[in-house]
Structures are given as structure tokens and as C-alpha cells.
Structure 1
Amino acid sequence: MNKMLLYLILLLIHHTALGQEASKVPLPSPAQLAWQDAELVAVFHYDLHVFDGKIYNQSQNRINPIADHNIFKPEALDTDQWIRAVKDMGAKIAILTATHETGFALYQSDVNPYSLKAVNWKGGKGDIVRDFVSSCRKYGIKPGIYIGIRWNAFYGIHDFKVQGEGEFSKNRQEHYNRICEGMVEELCSRYGDLAIVWFDGGAHGPEQGGPDVLSIFEKYQPNGLFYHNLQRADIRWGGSETGTVPYPCWGTYNAPSWFARRGDDIGFKPLKYGFPDGQYYMPAMSDAPLRGYDGGHEWFWEPDDEKHIYPLENLMEMYYKSVGRNSTLILGLTPDPRGLLPEADVKRLQEWGEEIDRRFSQPIARTSGKGKQLILSLEQPQSINHLIIEEDIAQGERVRKFVVEGKDDDKWLTLYEGSSIGHKHIARFATQKVSEVKLSVEEAVMEPVIQNLAVTYIE
């Protein structure tokens, strides 16, 4: 190697190490930054039981194999239509369930015979993962893949394990582990860069008798998010499937994987709130199905179920309590037996994207800056009732406590007080006419770096 090139590489490594050492807060990876910048993510659930005409029953689908896999025949499949809908919603990342609890794989697997190779649809040549990723790239959406290996009704896997004892279960477990590793290698190596590889329910590793999926992910997807096992979780679950997190919701945690402590008697509070002084950058995600309204909670398409689509006002409330609380919101979407996202769902996603844009795309005024005080001057006194604050999280979450005041004539009135800012914090307050807005950081770990301070009025 050229000596000058070697010197420059060593110098870069040295300065990178110094930068990390100088920071008193954990810093996000580029993949974590992209994840939080996305703000809205869609996850598409699709599997064999979409075609059986029955209400989805998770407990039964985990243990009962589908009698006839040839019920799978989405004759009008159009992944472009799926992705256009999430683009209208404002999502930047979309995830597909390549496998779920039936064990059926939505691609051309060479290691799992229970895949699209086994069905009559498209002569056994279909590959929905390929179509999905291609549609994502066509419309500028980052693709991700969800891999479900914790349950597999076809192979009789429950909570990662083959049921039974002795040599039979040992041999079958080894066989299943090799299949899982093979599928992860196929999915991580065939479809280009992925924003995230999501192991639903986690992924047991060799130390627990499971497959070694982490090393395969790290080999083929070094720039993606890994979610998750006992060793590593690049994001954390927000503690519920309501699409919301409480406030404050810190982007840092006190362990490299929240999954490692899931059996502790500590409840979901740490997941929901995080730890302001946590040593690991691990932002919370908020997930909910679009069809989760009024007693519904449908991750998969079900017949006659449009009544459970969230109304627009509920989706907006979800947005405030997820994206507006430093969390990325994942919305579950349900293609139907035709292979299309139902029209009612498409319409609601478009309405939602338009409403988010209406409320937040054109603030009355905005500014940015460093330091413990930041003043935003309006061109003239105006009524405001919303505040949007964003830290430059590439430099870590630094703010611990802040107050925002508005100037009415010559008086400063308190508009809002808070703690966590992180990627984005949206605050609502009683309408006040002001000429200036002042952000005062009362507690911080390092010098605050405010990427955006904006105000607006929303009717």
C-alpha cells in the first residue's frame, strides 16, 4: 500500500476515535440517522392466510400449517401500487415480511422449499421480495426486509425451538438453524443494500441454540439496521403497538440490546422512555397497524374490515405522539388477496400525507444555532400554537431540560417547558400572539446544537 495513503487512513481513524472520545453522548450511525430522518416507515404484512377468507388468528397460525399453499395466487399483484401509496403518506422506508409465522417465504429460496417455488402462481417463478425492492428503488423509497424465524408452523417451530426431546429434536433444530442462516444469506445478499433487516420477536443466536444470523447480516449488510437479538439492537421497540411513545422518549439506552432484558421484571417503562444518560444510541420505534381503530388490530388483510381503518384525526394524534416525540413511526399495511393495497387504505394514506404537509411544511418562521439560548424573530406579531424543535442528532442528544417563551409586547410569557428534544419534538400550546420566540436550554450535557427551531399556527 502507498505510504501516504496508509498515513491518511491512520490519521482518519485517529481523528474519528478522538471525536468519539470527546463526545459525552453516544452518537448514531449513518443508518440510525437515516432511520430517524425517515420519520414514517411502512411495513407490509403478506402471507398465505390472507387468501383463506378467515379472520387472522395469531395463536392458531403459529401452530397450524396451512392445508393448501396453492391458495396463494395474487393475480393482480402490483408492488408499484403499494409503494406509491406509502410515498403519498410521506414514508421514506418500506419493509416487507419476506417470511412470517407460517414459514412461507415470498421469494425464490434455494434452502427453504416452503416458498414461492412451491406454488402454481406464476409457475413457481414469482419473487415478491424482488418486485418489492424494485418498486422501492423506482420511487425513491429505501427497502427493508422482515424475517420471521421465531415461529414457523410448517416446521413446527415455537419460540425459536423445535418441539420434542432427544436426537430427533436436536437434529431437527440443527436443520432448521441451517435453513434460517441460508434464508438470511439469500435475503441479505441478493437484493442490494437494505435500510433494515427486522427479525420479528428477535433472533436467537448459537449461544441459545439458534442460528448465527448476526454475522451473516454484518457480512452482507454492514450499512443497514439490525433489529434485533441479544447482542445487538440498532433501534428499540417503543413498548406498545399503539403507534405512540410517552414523553420524554430518549434516543439512548443502557444496554446494547433491549431484548436481553425482556424477561426481567422491569415492565416496558425502560423501552418507552429510554435513558437520558444511556451509553448506547438506540432510538425508539412506534408501530401500529393502519387497521387498528375501534377494537381492531389487523396486521394482515381480513374480509369486511374497512371499519377498522384509523380516521385521519387519530393518525395525526399518532404522528404527534411518535414522530413528535423523537420516535420513528412504523405503520402496518395489508395488501389483499388480489395483491393490491385496498383503495380505502390508499385514500387514507394520501389524506394523511397531505394533512402532515399542510400542518408542517410551511412554518411561520424558523432558525437554527448553537448554545444555550436561541431567539427566533417573526416579521410581525403573529398567533402561534405549535413549536417544532430538532437537535442535530449527528452530534448526539445533548439537551436535558429547556423552556420556550414568547414575547408579547415587552413581556416574555412561558409557552412550553420540556426535557427531551432529540431528532424532533413537536409541542402544542394555547394560541399566543408573539413577535419573538426564545428557546433557553437550562440543562445540557454538551453545547446544544439546534438544527431547527420553528413555529406555526394550525387551525
Structure 2
Amino acid sequence: MERYELAKPTKQQMEWQDLELGMFCHFGINTFCNKEWSDGTEPVSIFNPAELDASQWVKTAKQVGFKYFILTAKHHDGFCLWPTQTTDYSVRTTSWKEGRGDVVREAAEACRRENIGFGIYVSPWDRNAACYSDPQAYDDFYAAQLIELLTQYGPLVEVWFDGAGSEGRQYDWKRIISLVKQHQPDAMIFNLGAPTIRWAGNEDGVAEYPCWNTAETAKVSMFTNSTNQWLPETPRWVPAECDVPIRKNHWFWHPNDEHSLLSLDQLLDVYYRSVGHGATLLLNVAPDNRGLLPECDVQRVLEFGKEIRRRFSQPKGSVSASGDFIELVFTCETAINHVVTMEDIAHGERILAYVIEAEQEGHWVEIANGSAIGHKKIDRFPSIRTKRIRLLVKEQAAEPRLRSFAGYYAAETESLDEE
């Protein structure tokens, strides 16, 4: 029997949480003026990516193992990467492809070819729109832009509403969310309005642990970040997405910026503290002013995907089961240094505290412990050799249901003997 009524995810939320890894792509007028936040006055003439290849972006994402791709269709400067009819501040009035180009379409089509989800970032804050100072007029303007994006580019996996620059501004969120639900009912809504997924609270790619999937209030956004807001007994399922740029503190490409590229070890630390804490990781890799992902960024992110596969593609053993005592018996004594546990979240988060033990010379020894498991919890520990491990649930909201309880071994280098 449940201790309290458990929040449970929708089908769409469960499918989104299974994606686990997404690529963010910040690209726009900022790419050509060496700025993170331009003010909406940069001339459209500077936008001219002579070698733009959205297929290169998306194929790279696919090779890494990203399951979805999000493009900044409009950032805070108001420049639109599609030929909108709402403003002249868009690709329609540039010399790129003689004004007939559409970056959003090229990215959407590339995602369909590679069979990964496509999403859009559409900043509510617009520093170019003359009507922004008139809330009612701007709401009409923004709604028209959204309708274009929601109806012309196929199914969307996510619509990303950034709150930056909008502190204190009241948009017509009821209208905005109704448009998303009308035209893209399966899309996740990030952060503002009536979000179905939430911001993790930082731009470091880290979900603080424990990272519960449930929220205390319907007013969930980057502006309601109480540390007590995310609790296991609260009524709404709103899982976390962690966003981080691969170049430290820089979302857009900047010249001579290679020194800021995160190392492989830094990226792996982000992975353990995002996906490994049950959240989804959205890693930004920005195209340069050619319209291509820089070679060094591509190399680094491919290394990242390869290392994730090396560590987690071949479990030493796994089991699915229900109950507060789950045992996994390996075929023979083997080395392990990771345990990956997943709840069957269709039934809610049921585990509130747990311990993992390994058999050592006839005795059970604790190797890990924690509270939240949710979609996924990755526990790391010094390598041990054992034939059996077990999960002991110390506190629960209802009978635990595990989708998977698996042991892994990842040597420091591939040349080390795994046995």
C-alpha cells in the first residue's frame, strides 16, 4: 500500500526520460558578432554561414549517442532562424541563400533522416521586437511566431522556454501553453508556463542529489527554486533537464576559444552527476561562423560518447524484480565498480532510501547507498570482485518495482584486464 498518493509520469514524460542525452545547438546572430547576448541591433547582413551543414550537426549528435537535438530558433536578440512573417529580423532578409534559407527546416529534416528527436528553443524575451514594451501586442507577436514553429516543422520532442531576461514580465502563458498542447501535444515543455520538465537550477550540467522527479507546486520555473520544492511526496511529476555548454561559460561559438573546451574527464563528471542522478543531460555544442561544428568540439564529444558506451554497454549481469530485497547473481566471480539501478517509474518513485551490498568471502559488505533512484541512479565505488550483489530498500513509499539492477566494470583504460 502506498504511504501517500504517488505522482506518476505521463507516457510522454517516460519516453523523454529514456532519451537521457540531448544535444543543444546555440546558433544565430551572436555567432557572427562574438557575443553571448547581443541587443537586437546587430545588422542582419552579418549572418552569412557560407558552409552551413545541419546534417553535420545532427550526424555528430547521432554518432555520439544523443537521442534528441534542440536548436535556438530565436535567442534573446530576436533574430529568427526561420523565414518568419512576423519580423524582418530573420534569415528571410539576409544574403544567406538569397533570403530563401531556413535553418530550422534544415535541422528538422536532418533529425528526421537520422531518426532523433527535434526540439526548439524560442526565447520569450525579444530585444529587437518594437512591440515588446506592449505586453498585449507582444503576446500576439510571440503567439504568431510559435504557431509558425509548431505547425511547419513536423513533430517536436521539446519546446524550450528560457526565463533569462524575463524576470517580472507577465506573458500570456495560458495562451502560449494552449498553442503547444494544440499543435504539439507530445512535446515536453521546459521551464516556464506549465512545464512538464524542469531546469536543474544551474548551467553546470549537474542535478544535485537527491534529484526527485516530483514538484510541490504548479508554478514550476527557474524563478521558483526553493531547495524544498523537489520532494518525493509532492503531487506533480516534473523531471529535471541539465544543460551545460561544452565550452565553459560560452553557449555560442567565439573565435580563439578552444582553451575553454571541457576535458573528457569533466564531461564524464557531468554525466555521472546528471544522467547518473536520474536527470537528462542537454550538452551544448555550437556551430562556428562557417555553419559547422568545430573539429575540436566534434572530436571531444565523440570521445565522450565512446567512453559512455565503453563503460555502460555491457553489463556483467542484470535483473528486473519487485520487492525491498533484490539480489543479482553473476555467472562467476567478476570485477565490478559500478551499479546502475532503475525504478519502473510508471508506478512512481517508490524507493526513498537504499543500500547496495556485495558478498565478500562469505560476508555482505556495503558498497553504496543513497535515497532517490527514480529513472536511473549510477553508483561508483572502488573495484571489487564478487559473485553476488544485493539491493536493500531501507525506506519506501510503496513496494519497490525495479526496471533494472545491473553491475558493470569499467577499467581505467581499455587495455586493462576486465576479469
Structure having the larger proportion of residues in helix: 1
Candidates 156, 163, 166, aligned match of 1:201 = 163
* Aligned mates of 1:250, 1:352 — CA distance in 2: 26
* Aligned mates of 2:406, 2:210 — CA distance in 1: 20
User: What residue in structure 1 maps to residue 5 of structure 2?
Assistant: 24
Candidates 13, 23, 35, aligned match of 1:42 = 23
Check if 1:304 corresponds to 2:304.
no
**Runs of 4+ off more than 6 Å:** none
Matches within 5 A, 1:1-16: none
Residue aligned with 1:258, SS: coil
Structure number with greater Rg is: 1
5+ residue gaps, structure 2: 412-419
TM (normalized to structure 1)? 0.85
Contact 2:81 2:91 in 1 (8 A): yes
Residue aligned with 1:336, SS: coil
CA separation of 1:249/1:365 partners in 2, compared to 1, >3 Å: closer, same or farther? Answer: same
CA separation of 1:64/1:122 partners in 2, compared to 1, >3 Å: closer, same or farther? Answer: closer
User: What residue in structure 2 maps to residue 349 of structure 1?
Assistant: 301
CA separation of 1:209/1:39 partners in 2, compared to 1, >3 Å: closer, same or farther? Answer: closer
* Aligned mates of 1:85, 1:278 — CA distance in 2: 39
Residue aligned with 2:310, SS: helix
CA separation of 1:109/1:278 partners in 2, compared to 1, >3 Å: closer, same or farther? Answer: same
User: What residue in structure 2 maps to residue 218 of structure 1?
Assistant: 181
* Aligned mates of 2:386, 2:374 — CA distance in 1: 25
Candidates 65, 69, 73, aligned match of 2:41 = 65
1:112-147, Cα deviation, whole Å (9 max, x unpaired): 232111112111111111110000010111000110
Residue aligned with 2:195, SS: coil
TM (normalized to structure 2)? 0.93
User: What residue in structure 1 maps to residue 236 of structure 2?
Assistant: 280
User: What residue in structure 2 maps to residue 328 of structure 1?
Assistant: 280
CA separation of 1:226/1:248 partners in 2, compared to 1, >3 Å: closer, same or farther? Answer: same
Q: Which amino acid aligns with 1:65?
A: T
Candidates 41, 44, 66, aligned match of 1:91 = 66
* Aligned mates of 1:270, 1:81 — CA distance in 2: 42
CA separation of 1:209/1:233 partners in 2, compared to 1, >3 Å: closer, same or farther? Answer: closer
> How many angstroms does 1:210 deviate by?
4.1
* Aligned mates of 1:209, 1:449 — CA distance in 2: 41
Q: Which amino acid aligns with 2:272?
A: Y
User: What residue in structure 2 maps to residue 318 of structure 1?
Assistant: 270
5+ residue gaps, structure 1: 1-20, 163-171
* Aligned mates of 2:196, 2:219 — CA distance in 1: 8
Check if 1:176 corresponds to 2:138.
yes
Matches within 5 A, 1:20-419: 24-52=5-33, 54=34, 56-58=35-37, 61=38, 63=39, 65-66=41-42, 68-150=43-125, 152-155=126-129, 162=133, 172-201=134-163, 208=170, 210=172, 212-230=175-193, 232-259=194-221, 262=223, 269-270=227-228, 274-292=230-248, 297-419=249-371
Contact 2:3 2:397 in 1 (8 A): no
Residue aligned with 2:282, SS: strand
* Aligned mates of 1:252, 1:441 — CA distance in 2: 20
Q: Which amino acid aligns with 2:47?
A: F
* Aligned mates of 2:30, 2:211 — CA distance in 1: 36
Contact 1:409 1:435 in 2 (8 A): no
- Larger RCO of the pair (alpha carbons < 8 Å, separation 6+): 2
1:74-96, Cα deviation, whole Å (9 max, x unpaired): 11111010011111221101000
* Aligned mates of 2:36, 2:205 — CA distance in 1: 21
> How many angstroms does 1:176 deviate by?
2.1
* Aligned mates of 1:307, 1:245 — CA distance in 2: 25
What's the % identity of the aligned pairs? Answer: 35
Q: Which amino acid aligns with 1:314?
A: Q
